Structure 1
Amino acid sequence: MTTTPSLEALLRIGPFHSALRAAIRRRGLTLERLRLRLGQQDVAVALSTLSDWQQGRVRPVSPKSLRAVAVLEELLEVPPRSLLALLEHTGPSGWPDVVPGMIPGFNANDLEILSRHDRVFVDAERHASRVHTQMVVRARNDGVDRFYAHYFCDDTVETAQLRQEPVRNCRLGRSTRHEAERVVVHELLFDKPLREGETWVFEFVAHDATRIDSIEYAHGVRCFLAQSLIEVHFDPAALPVDPHVYLQDWEEQEPHRTIDLVPDHTNSVHHFETDVSVNWVGIRWSWA
């Protein structure tokens, strides 16, 4: 079982919106009450803005917003600059500390992920041998020209068995893995540097040669994601039992089941989610 990060841990590793939400929950304050207390200190923040901040839809970046975050730290009784530090951090909040140093120049905050479509192919041996991913991203700054695909492996997966194949509008750059943390990072280079606000569509395939029965597929959501589509295609010789959707946030001890799925005539199931702000979205199944 994965241990859910405490508020103290979230204040160290992020992401910002999860740490803010956990701090608000611990203090037992409603967003309206928090807005009123901010107003008492001459800090005006709309209720919708507070909601966007804690859901990860918007990050406070303006001087006025950062001032509000500093006051929030006082009201929520968290250490000074603990929330602000998460906003200043340029690395991948919420990931193991080792990840930013695995590839020099690693920065996961300069791209906004608008849409992600994963097609998972489970073979006759019950193994998810490949995942075809299409992504739509938008540059937050000028000059962004790459995406970092990262994978967290459990003890049943050999990190050396994971291979990345660029398919469209990208090419493979550097790749590295950290055996102790069970992390693999692949750098996918775009065909050109993007301008701020420019969107880019690209596709890649992850191949996994590990011959272990697969029972789930999920992807992490660090910030707000407008659209997420996961499809799982099963070989006719290996049909699943009880496929269902699950969601999980950092604060939750266990994932919670949301939707039961039924394979269609192509032996496939899918889940489409919009306005995603939870940290994990996935499909899980069993074998007879």
Structure 2
Amino acid sequence: MTRRPTPETDEFARVLRTALRLSGLPLSRVTARLAARGVPLSTATLSHWQRGQRRPEQAASLRAVEELEPILGLAAGTLTGVLGPVLPRGAGLLPDVDPAVMRRLLGSGSPAEQALGVPVERLNEHLRPISIRDVVHLDREGRVHKLAVTHVMRALRGGVDRMTGVFQLDEGQDPLAGIVVRSGSLVSTRFEVVPNCLVVEFDLGRVLARGETSIVEYEMLVGGTDAPPVSSHERVIKARLRDLVLQVRFHPGTVPAHCSVHYRRRLDMAPEKGRRIAVDQFHQTHAVLSDAEPGVHGISWTWPPGFPSS
């Protein structure tokens, strides 16, 4: 966790104090202008900030810092840039995101990077995942016919209002089967034949201030009668998650012989940390991973002998 600055070493307090002095505005006038922008802030809080006695941490406070810049005649980023990686209380339990992680996980020239057309480090670079839940629905033939996903994320800077997803499809799967969004809204979909990836953009529903959270929930329909049965589902995560939930629902007429959960440090590495998991009476299996580390997490299963039939 980042060490909290003292009043003597707090660069944010020094810059804010200087800007307030040069503006010639009393604190009451500054807070009145913030209120006119829809961002209430007490003069006492502003005074504590400039003296280094407190620091902005809550989402509303971080929004106030962004609004202070034009009020005080400062260039964008003057205050937010020296505030440092401060997130709301409790968010410090999650370490910062290393932008190089995705390249280490996927490798250079990965299908995701080819589909995006930009360096993979740019993928949702200003969003920090908090938790993810995947629910995979399989049909009688062992094919995926629906993937339900819930993302909970936090903005690392103000102004974020979109999230992008990249899905590499298996041969025979239909990229145009459709997406149903439960939380958020669908902005665009784009299918890249090479490398057989679907790129989806979601609207978060509002512009996030730094530190604010958002939830995107959707169901990706997967068609294609020519697709082969699958035997695993994996999720790549770029930062440590509070919770990662992987769930697979099998067709009652086609239940695997056994299932296991595994972890891979990179996509090009063999699975490790494997362990068996059970299939319950509802024909489903799952894994709940708390404090999940960056890497490739997955569930795999073995079909019974003779399946699929030739």
Scaled by the length of structure 1, the TM-score of the pair is 0.63
1:117 corresponds to 2:133: yes
- Secondary structure class of the residue paired with 2:175: helix
Is contact 2:189-2:199 (8 Å) kept? yes
What amino acid maps onto 1:58 in structure 2? D
- Provide the residue aligned with 1:70 in structure 2: none
- Secondary structure class of the residue paired with 1:98: helix
1:128 corresponds to 2:144: yes
- 1:58-73 correspondence to structure 2 within 5 Å: 58-59=96-97
- Provide the residue aligned with 2:300 in structure 1: 284
- Secondary structure class of the residue paired with 1:180: coil
What amino acid maps onto 1:276 in structure 2? A
Identity of aligned residues (%): 19
What amino acid maps onto 1:164 in structure 2? I
Which of 213-222 and 106-115 deviates more? 106-115
Is contact 1:116-1:229 (8 Å) kept? yes
What amino acid maps onto 1:163 in structure 2? G
The alignment of Structure 1 onto Structure 2 pairs a total of residues equal to: 202
- Provide the residue aligned with 2:230 in structure 1: 214
What amino acid maps onto 2:237 in structure 1? V
Could you list the per-position Cα deviations for residues 220-258 of structure 1 after superposition, in whole angstroms to 9, with x for gaps in the alignment?
112222210011111211111221111111286311252
What amino acid maps onto 2:138 in structure 1? V
Distance in 2, Cα, partners of 1:179 & 1:261: 36
1:146 corresponds to 2:184: no
Assess, with a 3 A threshold, how the Cα gap between structure 1 residues 118 and 217 changes in structure 2: closer, same or farther: same
Is contact 2:130-2:152 (8 Å) kept? yes
Assess, with a 3 A threshold, how the Cα gap between structure 1 residues 230 and 251 changes in structure 2: closer, same or farther: closer
Assess, with a 3 A threshold, how the Cα gap between structure 1 residues 162 and 278 changes in structure 2: closer, same or farther: farther
1:253 corresponds to 2:242: no
Deviation for aligned residue 1:183: 1.7
Deviation for aligned residue 1:137: 0.7
Distance in 2, Cα, partners of 1:202 & 1:216: 24
Assess, with a 3 A threshold, how the Cα gap between structure 1 residues 230 and 140 changes in structure 2: closer, same or farther: same
- Provide the residue aligned with 1:32 in structure 2: none
What amino acid maps onto 1:206 in structure 2? M
Deviation for aligned residue 1:209: 0.4
Assess, with a 3 A threshold, how the Cα gap between structure 1 residues 118 and 99 changes in structure 2: closer, same or farther: same
* Stretches of structure 2 lacking an aligned partner (at least 5 in a row): 1-93, 305-310
Aligned residue among 174, 181, 196 for 2:188? 174
Is contact 1:227-1:274 (8 Å) kept? yes
1:163 corresponds to 2:178: yes
Could you list the per-position Cα deviations for residues 41-83 of structure 1 after superposition, in whole angstroms to 9, with x for gaps in the alignment?
xxxxxxxxxxxxxxx94347xxxxxxxxxxxxxxxxxxxxxxx
* Stretches of structure 1 lacking an aligned partner (at least 5 in a row): 1-55, 61-84
- 1:229-244 correspondence to structure 2 within 5 Å: 229-244=245-260
1:194 corresponds to 2:194: no
Distance in 2, Cα, partners of 1:195 & 1:279: 28
Assess, with a 3 A threshold, how the Cα gap between structure 1 residues 201 and 113 changes in structure 2: closer, same or farther: same
Is contact 1:141-1:196 (8 Å) kept? yes
Deviation for aligned residue 1:100: 3.5
- Secondary structure class of the residue paired with 1:115: strand
Structure of larger gyration radius: 2
- Provide the residue aligned with 2:217 in structure 1: 203
What amino acid maps onto 2:299 in structure 1? I
Deviation for aligned residue 1:159: 5.5
